[in-house]
Structure 1
Amino acid sequence: MLQSASCGFGYLALQGLCAQTSHAESAANSPDAELKRGLAQQAPSLKATAKRVIFLCMSGGPAQLDTFDYKPQVGKKKHPGSVFRFRRHGDCGMPISELLPETARHADKLCVVNGMHADTGIHAQSFLQLHTGERLRKRPSLGAWINYGLGTENQNLPGFISLNTSKSSIYSSAFLPSIYNGTPIGVNGENMSAATINNVASNHLPGSSKRRQLDFVQSMNRRHLDRRPGDDKLESVIQSMELGYRMQASAPDLLDLSGETQATLDAYRVGKKLSIGTCRPTDFGRQCLLARRFAEAGVRFIEVNHGGWDQHKNHRRDLAANCETIDAPIAALLEDLQQRGLLEDTLLVWGGEFGRPGLTPDDGKDETGHNANGFTFWLAGGGMKRGHVHGRTDELGRRAVDGKVHFRDLHATILHALGLPANDLTFWHQGRDHRLTGPDGGQVVKGLFV
């Protein structure tokens, strides 16, 4: 994109060139017309129970037996299980670990899935499968597929935002048009209070001149496209430039929390220090509050990332620190969404790439491994059952044995909640149709819905 006068055009010369763009050409190839083709909101083909998704991604493998999958210790020789106490919460009597007291207050909002399973216990492969349905090849992520299927509710914002992200694969559109790519905010542990959407701020020209500048550049881009019909990448760039211009007016305000009340900031623990493991303030509460703000503004898919769950040694200490980090902010998010009338049509999804085997309380060991054969996710809002536990693992919590849900089935269920036919949402690439749920397809877990 052309930039300021210092980049080759004088300011007056740029104005003159922009003015030469014909009115007829501008109308025929208007930014609105370009945007309508790729980003406009699409009506779901099925009855939807949710309009948007907030994915609370716990990378590293949360220990399900120490959080939501209670296994009582029985017999003279106690088998592996949780070394933390559980209590029953809410009218539903859901067992939740002592490590998550704030989340436990919302037990009657949760739909816990204890029968999750995946194909591998290797972090990178399972994490990729969780996001894209594939373990090895680069494929579009869940958020990109949803953006492709439904468009964005707010034409001035991306349809897919990933907060505190570390891997581009989790927000990539891959072979889908790049306009459906996720927008990362805060990369590789960047301080979220300073994180922003890159390359959006622009003060080199007055607002009216920036609009004329973009119209002029886009007119040249569209002439270029006319000579290359069917060039999806070029068309996506044109759409992205228009979206970038529109974002200048909306995105900075959404990232600014100064208008939030102190009570709200305190509820989300924004800037608060942890009592366990570190004296450094956590950014997770800020992420959750930003997720609420983006959801309220019409962003279709928001991913909130929290790493550090790959705790092999010092399991008790590190798990307690992680749970303290996420507990109050997630509880605040649930309560905030409900108070604002957003929980009904916002689907929250919590989980990681797999789980962990339990500890044996009597042997004093404090290290765990990986377990992809049985672990826990939970969902809330968006038409899901409330105060409900679906599926179970065996008595040791090692393997899903009832109500089994694979990542393909989770993807199918999320798409179905949004009114998208899970196994019919396809894109033609390299000679065949591709879909998020893979060649075998996924099963919608209808037992999760109200």
Structure 2
Amino acid sequence: MVHPQEPEFEQALNELSVSLRPFLEANPSYAKAFEIVQIPERILQFRVTWEDDQGRPQVNRGFRVQYNSALGPYKGGLRLHPSVNLSILKFLGFEQTFKNALTGLNMGGGKGGSDFDPKGKSDNEIRRFCVAFMSELGKHIGKDTDVPAGDIGTGAREIGFLFGAYRRMRGEWVGVLTGKGATWGGSFIRPEATGYGLIYYVEHMIAKAFPHLSLSKTSTKVAISGSGNVAQYTALKVLELGGTVLSLSDSKGALVSKDGLTEATVRAVMDLKLKGGALSSLPSQSGVAYVAGKRPWTLLEQIDIALPCATQNEVSREEAEALVKAGTKIVAEGSNMGCTMEAIGVFEGARKKGGEGAVWYAPGKASNCGGVAVSGLEMAQNSQRLVWTSEEVDAKLKGIMTECYNICLDAGSKWSGEKEEGVLPSLLSGANVAGFIKVADAMKAHGDWW
């Protein structure tokens, strides 16, 4: 199938198709499963009409892509951003299906959102939008059916408004959304989970291939893009462990420091972003430069570990080549499909060559699955009407990321189709094949293909 009007979805599908080729050649019966799994089980599109502070009606498009429920209720975030369209949500839901499979938890894949932009809106306008959005979405979700979460533009405030609208609409308190407040059904470590999980995954990559890059050393230099939730907690975890954080960024530019950002600077960025500010308005910090219109990847002479944590396709071929030139050894995505296909080709090419120039790349569906993993743990806590401590949740998160890494490593070793000695296994192939097999086998057991 070709999807020329859905470039993001086509990119995700092509990536999976390439990774699966050796497996499908050895197991041709699974070709039918691959054909079937490409098509969402259900796509919901609806109108969202809400009232602004001047009393004028406004309208946006609402979506929910319920992609695959073979492993459990549909699970995936709600993105509120002007760029939201069906192609982006289909790609995200498709990726989410296999990402959720890699967590080992009983969750299917889905994604949703709207082209509504929370930036510049008052709290009352956002509340009215959320109530209008949930008045339609609430007909199609439930704790055992579809459990949305936050995403870009959908933080604690929005989740609160959405949950309140659902509770009033349905007259019941159930764990139908994750990312809830800690005092009303949320889980400890949920805000931190994607960033923390990314670092736990990277620590396994370091131990396997580059032990000299221990994150306990200040000499280990980590470049991070983005300045939202994922980037913030990724940076804080690196600093907590003892590594050096070189950068953060937003859609307008990058914040870089050759000597490293301090925790105080990262906390200042957190406060700024909470108020909707841009990095360009951050008060001057000693040893920190703001570069307008640039991402961090070409701005630093030495980068040991690169962690894209902003949005899709934020690392181009040219930027990937710059990272290789800067001595980067590990690239792991905190964002979904953070690297273009051309950039991935650069990293995978460097991995296959091996030697001093080797680069090991981890795709987001594996390295950033910690966020949805803790969302799954939040669902479990809600079902049992209890709350686990931060230490308990963090320990479970570490276990999930360890198992995810091991699954990807094993599948990459077996199904990448590579025979060269001394070359690191493809975590890209491993994540794609392992996630696909788990979903496909469940679909077969249910009679979805035969």
TM-score in terms of structure 1 length: 0.29
Larger Rg: 1
Q: Judging by fraction of residues, say which structure has more helix.
A: 2
